[in-house]
Structure 1
């Protein structure tokens, strides 16, 4: 009974977090009826509860029907915390041994997958307050720390410490110096490749300016240099 009450509490939190994360959410009826991300999470909560009761087949059936209806595949055995929100949905895959903390925001096309046929823990663990951008792939038995932002399209294959940002293929860690960013402001995700290109362009501009400027006159004449060298 306690587990069932916890599931209901998680369901309420999942509905409430949508209004905090999605500025397009206008009302409770609209969210409940027309948000497939919420439908997928609700189906997962039910399937996970059935899985914990050791009921065979039925949890996978619920997950299968939810996948057919929403385009999101969440294994019933995955562990997902409170306030979980998938925005825009479609193409999200969450593997069997994945663990997701509280207040996690995920966009479409994200995969929390494995990298082989090994048994045991083979999917990622996400901490609290993590944002995973559209199309990101987080693969293998790795840990993503708290307050981490994973940029859209990134492929993360290694453990990521807390309070940083990951971008690129393969994913590279970019520290933010403790500055807290708006989780919805994707334009604030840094691009280290673009930073390098900007530095190179600036360097080329400086060299061109030096080449275009007239040469400095020598402080000594040519004859003086020759005399000094004994020529």
Structure 2
């Protein structure tokens, strides 16, 4: 329950950063919150050897939110799903604190290896993170980017395949 509370507080912070000072009731009713609640219920059941009940929550999330998160996927507090439609996360994914996902994000396995996400990560709509890679702290992954290699601390990853966004001295991006 503490993880869910931290998730909701983090979502409230995100709304506040965007200029919307909303109540916790509004956060609870926001798009994606039901996916967060069902994920946390599933993880609690999986951690307490209640596999059938965990599967029920996973199945409910799939049909209610079009969001598939494997029961072994483990995210620290501050995990926020902004828009759940099309999110798919492999069971072996491990995520740190304050990870925010937009719609259509896929975090998947390749050849038995799944990504490890550190802390304070934003993943834009439609982005894909595939394979046994590490995403370091404070990384932003742009919409529709396909990340297949490690992302260094503080970078913004864009494109297919995703590369670090580098700002040139003249202000132009490359």
Q: TM-score, normalised by structure 2?
A: 0.88
Question: How does 1:187-202 map onto structure 2 within 5 Å?
Answer: 192=174
Query: Following superposition, which runs of at least 4 residues in structure 1 exceed 3 angstroms of deviation?
Result: none
Larger radius of gyration: 1
* 1:29 aligned partner: 25
Corresponding residue to 1:20 among 13, 25, 29: 13
CA drift of 1:50 comes to 1.0
Secondary structure (helix, strand or coil) at the match of 2:138 reads coil
Question: Quick one: structure 1 residues 142 and 169, their matched pair in 2 at CA, closer, same or farther if it must change by over 3 Å?
Answer: same
Corresponding residue to 1:97 among 88, 92, 96: 92
User: Does the CA-based 8 Å contact 1:125-1:143 persist in structure 2?
Assistant: yes
* 1:61 aligned partner: 56
CA drift of 1:10 comes to 0.9
CA RMSD of aligned residues (A): 1.9
* 1:157 aligned partner: 148
Is 1:50 the counterpart of 2:45 in the alignment?
yes
Corresponding residue to 2:108 among 107, 113, 133: 113
Unaligned segments of structure 1, at least 5 residues: 1-7, 178-189, 193-231
Equivalenced residue count is 168
Counterpart Cα distance in 2 of 1:85 and 1:14: 6
Corresponding residue to 1:145 among 136, 149, 156: 136
More helix by share: 1
Counterpart Cα distance in 2 of 1:11 and 1:108: 20
Question: Quick one: structure 1 residues 79 and 46, their matched pair in 2 at CA, closer, same or farther if it must change by over 3 Å?
Answer: same
Unaligned segments of structure 2, at least 5 residues: none
* 1:9 aligned partner: 2
User: Which shifted more, 10-19 or 168-177?
Assistant: 168-177
Instruction: Kindly provide the CA deviation profile for residues 29-81 of structure 1, in whole angstroms up to 9, marking residues without a partner as x.
Output: 2222x324111111111111111122232211111111211121111211101
* 1:125 aligned partner: 116
CA drift of 1:191 comes to 5.3
* 1:134 aligned partner: 125
